[in-house]
Amino acid sequence: MKRENMLIEAEELLKKIGNENLRIFDATITEDAYMQGHIPGAVYFNHDRFSLPDSPYMCTILPVDRLMEQIGRAGISNDSEVVVYACGMLPYAIRAWWVLRYAGHDKVRVLNGGFTAWKNAGGATEQAPQSYEPAVFKGNPRPEMFADKDEVFAAMENQEVDLVNVLPPVSYEAAHIPNSINLSCMDLMDGLEYLRPNDQLALHLKETPGNHRVITYCGGGIAATVNAAAHLLTGHENVAVYDGSMYEWLGEGMPVTGNGNWEIWKLK
């Protein structure tokens, strides 16, 4: 995937403000942060509304039909040009991007640098909450972008699949899925806000063969999207996010290995 098809820089977004077809979403995890200041016209992307409300695990993706309905309810149509960003935490924006791409939306990008980049570029801010008129969205889903625990369990013994824990080494050492490797998402970002240049991403991801399927996981399916997106940017498209990640894996009593200090790994 071309970088310009996944990411948008603040300077380009500044030129697009006012476009009737533009839909901007603040995917910061708390609405309080959105209310303190956001890009003018931006709507709050509530991750809970795109997740199963009755799931015991965080950010469990909605069934496709309900997901498409929710995307339309948020004001996104097939023709909408969507930009998602976050304040101080790029993984939340990439999670929103991953969800929309999974549902089949092809015109969505992440603001590299998020709200900080916007302000540094001279962009205005506002505090008033915004909303878009509901629309109709009918996408062509990409089911291969998410993996469930059954696929992950099978992958533990499949040398053609690479399981990648994206949490910091201390979390990986505490508890991880057997036969998974550790490639921290922290090494892919600058200051938790910017995705690093493609050549740096490729250098970090060199441990995962390009012909294998890659399944990334973290604590709750958010940070894992950073590594997954980086794989797409470096030309490796056979990649999925284990949506349940360690919250589900441990919650369902699945096998783990590590030093047993399970509390450490709880990074979303």
Rounded CA separation 166/187 (Å)? 10
Cα 254 off chain centre by: 24
Last residue of a domain, one of 141, 173, 188: 141
Check which CATH number belongs to the domain holding 43 and give it.
Answer: 3.40.250.10
Residues 129 and 39 grouped into a single domain: yes
Among candidate residues 141, 160, 183, the one where a domain is terminated? 141
pLDDT digits (tens, 9 = 90+) for 232-251: 999 999 999 999 999 999 99
Closest CA to 178 of 195, 155, 199: 155
Instruction: Kindly state whether residues 58 and 148 are assigned to the same domain.
Output: no
In angstroms, what CA-CA distances link 91 with 56, 98, 239? 21, 10, 17
Write out pLDDT tens, residues 203-226: 999 877 667 899 999 999 999 999
Statement to judge: residues 185 and 254 lie in one domain: yes
Q: How many independent structural domains does the chain possess?
A: 2
| Domain range for 188 | 144-265
User: At residue 199, does pLDDT exceed 90?
Assistant: yes
Q: Are residues 226 and 99 in the same domain?
A: no
Asked if 169 and 224 sit in the same domain, the reply is yes
Same domain? For 126 and 25 the reply is yes
What pLDDT band is residue 268 in, cutting at 50, 70 and 90?
A: very low
Same domain flag for 128 and 199: no
| Whole-angstrom distance, CA of residue 3 vs CA of residue 14 | 18
Write down the pLDDT at residue 58: 83
Contacts of 206 (CB under 8 A, 6+ apart): none
> Which residues have CB under 8 Å from 63's CB, separation 6+?
none
Q: Are residues 260 and 164 in the same domain?
A: yes
Question: Per the structure block, which two tokens stand in for 173?
Answer: 């050492």
Same domain flag for 131 and 206: no
Average pLDDT score over residue span 188-199: 96
Res 207: pLDDT: 74
pLDDT (tens digit per residue) in 11-45:
999 999 999 999 999 999 899 999 999 999 999 99
pLDDT at 125 over 80: yes
Question: Which distant-in-sequence residues (6+ apart) come within 8 Å of 259 by Cβ?
Answer: 173, 174, 175
Using pLDDT thresholds of 50, 70 and 90, give the confidence band for residue 178.
Answer: very high
Query: Is residue 228 within 8 Å of 205, Cβ to Cβ?
Result: no
Q: Are residues 52 and 151 in the same domain?
A: no
Q: Are residues 128 and 150 in the same domain?
A: no
Structural domain ending residue among the three candidates 87, 118, 141: 141
Q: Tell me: do 11 and 136 sit in the same domain.
A: yes
Yes or no: say if 268 and 247 are a contact pair by the CB < 8 Å rule: no
